[in-house]
């Protein structure tokens, strides 16, 4: 324990308590030790601190841990048990036992920084008569890291005057310290599911309209990996919406009016700051009835009538969420669209909510295929499709015409009610050779019939940019200039002139990577007449490896004499490069000059991955300097069966696939049912190339364990990863003594093939002499030679099941978050679904006894799911690509 030299000359009794830390504990066995230790290890003398541990009906090891600390520090730590009643009741219960001069309510999964108590004590003693509360900064850790959004309050130690600094809200009690005597008057509201601390704090602040802030020290606020804290789960409870409207917002309004006759600005700011989180929670549309939603809107309207527009504007200007229109419509009613100063404007109560002139037309796709101009993009604003049309004015030598697009949306829930709307559009315009065209995009007001032209912005995925502003498509050329597009017949002389202009622009501005861009564009320009009509196919899996669908398809068709130049590309540093280069021709090092030039001239890019940052060698190197040069078709062979709705990743606007290979009619249908927005002719059921080389050998008697990744632990530090549920469950399975004993008994080895993301921290796992972590074997060899697969949600189960080998799904928790899937593991899966590790070992034992034979039930599911099992997948895909 550390000593402290107090900043005041005063005689301090040996047993005098200055701080009472009241800690509500409910099933916090994994966290409470850190919380307690953070108090014990303060630079402030622990002899003058007490911790009151209130066990709110825990049924895990929380009580045992707490009692251990009581035995170790009997003079400073108290433990008391109560029936479960929630955090508010636990805190109220703990206050009765507090004897300190100042009280804090540290959550049992958070931590105090080392100098917090010392700095708070010094400040409180110096400003004791001016404030009842002193706050410290909050810093996130674990699932989320960084500063709390309200940390701007802590630039210096000072007393905040809430009459002038009304936009400095304080809502939390875990990051605040209170005079003990304030709790003679104030208590936590036990009826609230959330905000019970915020309402108590702000009623208290009405006493002095001031509080203190201390910049050094602070609260480390844990965002749990498992998302089980109250703040994570409360949005799924009706009380978070209905109960809080009355118990928090209306109560705070009524209390203010009763106490001082009006609602002060700082209370208004707290209301708009906190009510925003309710309004953004789209979960309420699923859990509240229509009548409850109507009552909720009426309740919000009543609260907002006590919040000045000045307060709303102040908060929303600094807030990243786009809910301004929604809030003002809840306050004043439906907004109107008006014409004002040659602009289309949305306003309510004379408040301008949006102006069309502030926005842009974003283009994601612009290309010419099969004598058709294809354009996709969006307008993001508060204007909705019922308010405006996006039209394409198209002018040729023979006709002038406005084209209406096919419109669609990527958001099928209630986001468009709350946030800005995305009006997405697809134009498909037929072209005639030997004609010149001019076209531009306009927005038309449905109410007034007026037309507006907005600036065009090209996304990184578009095949044009402001710099690389022309492209050649078959026998057409498209050119962007002055916010308009021009289409003409191909002419090398015209292309040469435009290219010289681009050279001059690049030389004038010298953007990042400009020298490489000039070099590549020069080579491209010189070679173009010779390569324009060449058929070139570029195959790849990943930059750092092969051994996936693209490699298998390339091996099949590389030597077919069909007039197509075929190349396979991957990094020269990859472990697969030497293997492929020794047995196959035209293996190109990724990023080499030849590979980049061949990529630009490729008619088709064929890969098991669809992302531009993987396929495009210019991505991340100022790719907009090359945009107009790339016009290849993109064939996606898939990395695995897509069973979940991943439309936010694989949707049309940024992937723009020309063909996607699937293995099942159900899988193909899911791409049409969910909001990927691909035409059905893009989705082809052809089977995976790598399936052709799968064989049921099982000759090595291997148990193969292949868990998939969890996005929730992306970018975490090692010390955070090892505390995640995912790591703990996998580490336990990898070292399960009973599993190892059974494997030895039946003569099986245990192989773990980690997901590539797991390999980044594989050394964190405990190691044993029997379980082998495989870092080098090819997936195909593992599938062919293994006898039994244990996975969780990985699509490798489809490869394994395809050759009718048994699969077990170990799904220990609902921590693999996809909202929609067509694949039900219980009714469609190819093996047992297990949630407990002991049960998993039991089922593994049954398979080992039965020589790892897949049961007839699961064999029937395999036959039902896969359309083709004839090992002609490569042939089908090759023919389909040729015909594309």
Q: Is 792 helix (H, G, I), strand (E, B) or coil?
A: coil
Which is nearest to 26 in space by CA: 74, 81, 73, 71?
A: 81
Q: Which CATH architecture has domain 534-687?
A: 3-Layer(aba) Sandwich (3.40)
Which is nearest to 882 in space by CA: 560, 662, 594?
A: 560
CATH 2.60.120.380, applies to 356-490: no
Residue 734: HSE in the Cβ half-sphere, 13 Å Cα cutoff: 24
Q: In this predicted model, what pLDDT tens digit does every residue of 179-217 receive, in sequence order?
A: 999 999 999 988 887 778 899 999 999 999 999 999 999
The pLDDT value given to residue 194:
75
Mean pLDDT of 29-33: 91
Contact 749, 852 (CB under 8 A): no
Give the Cα separation of 475 and 480 in Å (integer): 17
Q: Is 426 helix (H, G, I), strand (E, B) or coil?
A: strand
The pLDDT value given to residue 12:
55
Left, alpha or beta for 150 (phi > 0: left; psi -120 to 50: alpha)?
A: alpha
Q: In this predicted model, what pLDDT tens digit does every residue of 837-875 receive, in sequence order?
A: 999 999 999 999 999 999 999 999 999 999 999 999 999
Q: In this predicted model, what pLDDT tens digit does every residue of 43-81 receive, in sequence order?
A: 999 999 999 999 999 999 999 999 999 999 999 999 999
Alpha-carbon distances, residue 149 vs 119, 135, 168, 385 (angstroms): 22, 14, 11, 34
Give the Cα separation of 307 and 476 in Å (integer): 59
Q: Is 19 helix (H, G, I), strand (E, B) or coil?
A: strand
- The answer to whether residue 414 scores a pLDDT higher than 80 is no
Residue 586 sits at φ, ψ, to 5 deg, of: 60, 45
Q: In this predicted model, what pLDDT tens digit does every residue of 500-531 receive, in sequence order?
A: 999 999 999 999 999 999 999 999 999 999 99
The pLDDT value given to residue 2:
44
Which CATH number describes the domain made up of 19-222?
3.90.550.10
The pLDDT value given to residue 544:
92
The pLDDT value given to residue 8:
41
Q: In this predicted model, what pLDDT tens digit does every residue of 439-458 receive, in sequence order?
A: 999 999 999 999 999 999 99
Contact 150, 211 (CB under 8 A): no
Residue 40 sits at φ, ψ, to 5 deg, of: -60, -40
Higher pLDDT, 867 or 723: 867
Q: Is 708 helix (H, G, I), strand (E, B) or coil?
A: coil
Residue 623 sits at φ, ψ, to 5 deg, of: -60, -20
Question: Lowest-pLDDT range, 97-106, 227-236, 446-455, 835-844?
Answer: 227-236
Domain ranges of the chain: 19-222, 242-332, 356-490, 534-687, 694-865
- Cβ burial of 65 (10 Å; 0-12, 13-18, 19+) is buried
- Partnered with residue 773 across adjacent β-strands are 752
The pLDDT value given to residue 719:
76
| Terminal alpha carbon distance of the chain | 74
The pLDDT value given to residue 106:
95
Higher pLDDT, 255 or 776: 255
Q: In this predicted model, what pLDDT tens digit does every residue of 598-610 receive, in sequence order?
A: 999 999 999 999 9
* DSSP output for 632-644: -EEEE--SS---B
* DSSP output for 473-529: ETTEEEEEETTEEEEEE--HHHHHHHHHHHHHHHHHH--TTHHHHHHHHHHHHHHHH
* Percent of the residues in the chain that have a pLDDT greater than 70, as a whole number: 95
pTM value is: 0.83
Question: Lowest-pLDDT range, 16-25, 260-269, 793-802, 817-826?
Answer: 817-826
Alpha-carbon distances, residue 756 vs 99, 359, 520, 760, 775 (angstroms): 54, 41, 33, 7, 9
- Partnered with residue 103 across adjacent β-strands are 20, 178
The pLDDT value given to residue 750:
96
- The answer to whether residue 10 scores a pLDDT higher than 60 is no
The pLDDT value given to residue 318:
67
Confidence band of 820 (pLDDT split at 50, 70, 90): confident
Q: In this predicted model, what pLDDT tens digit does every residue of 214-226 receive, in sequence order?
A: 999 999 988 775 5
* Percent of the residues in the chain that have a pLDDT greater than 90, as a whole number: 75
The pLDDT value given to residue 64:
95
- The answer to whether residue 1 scores a pLDDT higher than 60 is no
Sheet holding 659-662, edge to edge: 587-589, 565-570, 536-540, 604-607, 633-636, 659-662, 683-685
Confidence band of 779 (pLDDT split at 50, 70, 90): confident
- Partnered with residue 634 across adjacent β-strands are 605
For all residues of the chain together, what is the average pLDDT? 91
- Cβ burial of 163 (10 Å; 0-12, 13-18, 19+) is exposed
The pLDDT value given to residue 409:
53
534-687 with 694-865: one CATH topology? yes
Give the Cα separation of 465 and 618 in Å (integer): 14
Give the Cα separation of 666 and 644 in Å (integer): 12
CATH superfamily for domain 694-865: CDP-glycerol glycerophosphotransferase, C-terminal domain (3.40.50.12580)
Who contacts 389 (Cβ-Cβ below 8 Å, separation ≥6)?
A: 404, 443, 444, 446
Give the Cα separation of 25 and 27 in Å (integer): 7
- The answer to whether residue 790 scores a pLDDT higher than 80 is yes
533: tokens are: 């009509």
Cα 570 → chain centroid: 28
Higher pLDDT, 100 or 229: 100
Sheet holding 133-135, edge to edge: 77-82, 49-56, 19-25, 102-104, 176-179, 133-135, 210-213, 158-161
The pLDDT value given to residue 71:
94
Q: Count CB-CB contacts under 10 A for residue 386.
A: 10
The pLDDT value given to residue 229:
47
Query: Please, what sign has the CA dihedral across residues 31, 37, 39, 43?
Result: negative
The pLDDT value given to residue 760:
83
H or E segment to which residue 868 belongs: none
Q: Which residue has the tokens 């939603």?
A: 293
Residue-wise burial string across 204-218, b where 16 or more C-beta atoms lie within 10 A, e elsewhere: bbbeeebbbbbbbbb
Radius of gyration of the chain (CA): 32
The pLDDT value given to residue 593:
96
């Amino acid at each position: 324990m550390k000593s402290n030299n107090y900043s005041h000359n005063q005689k301090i009794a040996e047993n005098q308590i200055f701080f009472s830390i009241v800690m509500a504990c409910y099933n916090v066995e994994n966290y409470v030790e850190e919380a307690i230790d953070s108090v014990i290890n303060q630079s402030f003398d622990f002899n003058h601190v007490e911790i009151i541990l209130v066990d709110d009906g825990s049924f895990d090891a929380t009580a045992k841990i707490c009692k251990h600390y009581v035995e170790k520090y009997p003079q400073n730590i108290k433990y008391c048990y109560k029936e479960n009643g929630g955090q508010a009741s636990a805190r109220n219960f703990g206050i009765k036992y507090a004897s300190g001069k100042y009280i804090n309510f540290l959550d049992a999964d958070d931590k105090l920084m080392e100098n917090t108590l010392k700095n708070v004590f010094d400040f409180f003693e110096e400003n004791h008569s001016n404030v009842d509360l002193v706050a410290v900064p909050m810093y996130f850790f674990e699932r989320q890291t960084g500063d709390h959004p309200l940390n701007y309050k802590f630039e210096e130690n000072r007393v905040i005057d809430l009459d002038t600094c009304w936009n400095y809200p304080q809502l939390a009690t875990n990051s605040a310290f209170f005079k003990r005597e304030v709790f003679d008057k104030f208590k936590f509201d036990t009826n609230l599911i959330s905000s019970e601390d915020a309402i108590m704090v702000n009623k208290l602040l009405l006493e002095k309209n001031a509080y203190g802030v201390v910049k050094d020290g602070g609260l480390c606020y844990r965002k749990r990996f498992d998302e089980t804290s109250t703040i994570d789960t409360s949005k799924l409870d009706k009380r978070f919406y209905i109960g809080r409207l009355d118990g928090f917002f209306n109560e705070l309004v009524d209390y203010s009016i009763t106490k001082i006759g009006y609602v002060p600005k700082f209370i208004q700011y707290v209301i708009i700051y906190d009510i925003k989180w309710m309004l953004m929670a789209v979960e309420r549309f699923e859990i509240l009835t229509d009548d409850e939603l109507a009552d909720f809107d009426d309740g919000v309207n009543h609260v907002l009538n006590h919040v000045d527009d000045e307060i709303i504007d102040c908060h929303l200007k600094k807030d990243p969420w786009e809910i301004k229109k929604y809030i003002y419509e809840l306050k004043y009613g439906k907004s109107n669209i008006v014409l004002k100063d040659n602009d289309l404007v949305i306003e309510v109560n004379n408040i301008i909510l949006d102006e069309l002139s502030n926005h842009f037309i974003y283009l994601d796709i612009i290309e010419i295929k099969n004598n058709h101009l294809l354009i996709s993009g969006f307008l993001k604003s508060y204007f909705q499709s019922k308010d405006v049309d996006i039209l394409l004015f198209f002018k040729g030598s023979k006709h002038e015409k406005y084209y209406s697009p096919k419109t669609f949306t990527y958001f099928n829930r209630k986001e468009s009610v709350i946030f800005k709307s995305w009006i997405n559009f697809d134009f498909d315009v037929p072209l005639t050779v030997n004609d010149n065209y001019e076209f531009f995009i306009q927005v038309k007001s449905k109410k007034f019939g007026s037309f507006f032209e907005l600036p065009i912005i090209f996304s990184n995925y578009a095949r044009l940019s402001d710099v690389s502003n022309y492209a050649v498509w078959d026998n057409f050329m498209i050119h962007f200039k002055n916010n308009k597009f021009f289409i003409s017949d191909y002419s090398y002389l015209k292309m040469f002139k435009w290219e010289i202009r681009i050279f001059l622009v690049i030389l004038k501005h010298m953007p990042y990577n400009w020298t490489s861009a000039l070099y590549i564009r020069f080579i491209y320009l010189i070679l173009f007449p010779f390569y324009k009509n060449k058929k070139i196919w570029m195959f790849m899996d990943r930059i750092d490896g092969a051994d996936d669908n693209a490699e298998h398809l390339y091996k099949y068709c590389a030597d077919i004499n069909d007039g197509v130049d075929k190349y396979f590309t991957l990094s020269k540093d990859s472990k697969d490069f030497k293997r492929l280069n020794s047995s196959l021709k035209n293996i190109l090092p990724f990023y080499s000059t030849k590979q980049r030039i061949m990529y630009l001239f490729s008619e088709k890019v064929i890969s098991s991955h669809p992302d531009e940052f993987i396929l495009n060698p210019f991505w991340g190197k100022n790719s907009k300097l090359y945009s107009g040069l790339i016009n290849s078709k993109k064939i996606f062979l898939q990395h695995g069966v897509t069973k979940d709705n991943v439309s936010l990743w694989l949707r049309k606007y940024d992937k723009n696939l020309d063909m996607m290979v699937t293995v099942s009619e159900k899988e193909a249908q899911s791409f049409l049912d969910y909001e990927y927005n691909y035409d059905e002719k893009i989705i082809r059921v052809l089977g995976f190339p790598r399936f052709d080389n799968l064989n049921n050998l099982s000759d090595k008697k291997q148990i193969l364990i292949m868990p998939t990744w969890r996005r929730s632990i992306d970018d975490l530090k090692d010390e955070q990863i090892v505390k995640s549920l995912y790591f703990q469950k996998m580490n336990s399975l990898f070292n399960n003594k009973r599993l190892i004993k059974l494997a030895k008994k039946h003569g099986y080895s245990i192989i773990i093939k980690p997901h590539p993301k797991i390999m980044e921290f594989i050394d964190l796992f405990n190691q044993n002499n029997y379980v082998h972590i495989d870092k080098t074997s090819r997936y195909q060899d593992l599938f062919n030679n293994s006898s039994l697969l244990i996975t969780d949600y990985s699509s490798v189960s489809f490869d394994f099941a395809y050759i009718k080998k048994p699969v077990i799904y170990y799904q220990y928790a609902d921590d693999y978050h996809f909202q929609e899937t067509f694949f039900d593991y219980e009714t469609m899966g190819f093996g047992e679904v297990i949630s407990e590790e002991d049960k998993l070992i039991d089922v593994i034992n049954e398979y080992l006894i039965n020589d790892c034979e897949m049961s007839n039930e699961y064999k029937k599911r395999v036959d039902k799911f896969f359309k083709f099992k004839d090992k002609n997948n490569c042939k089908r895909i090759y023919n389909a690509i040729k015909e594309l």
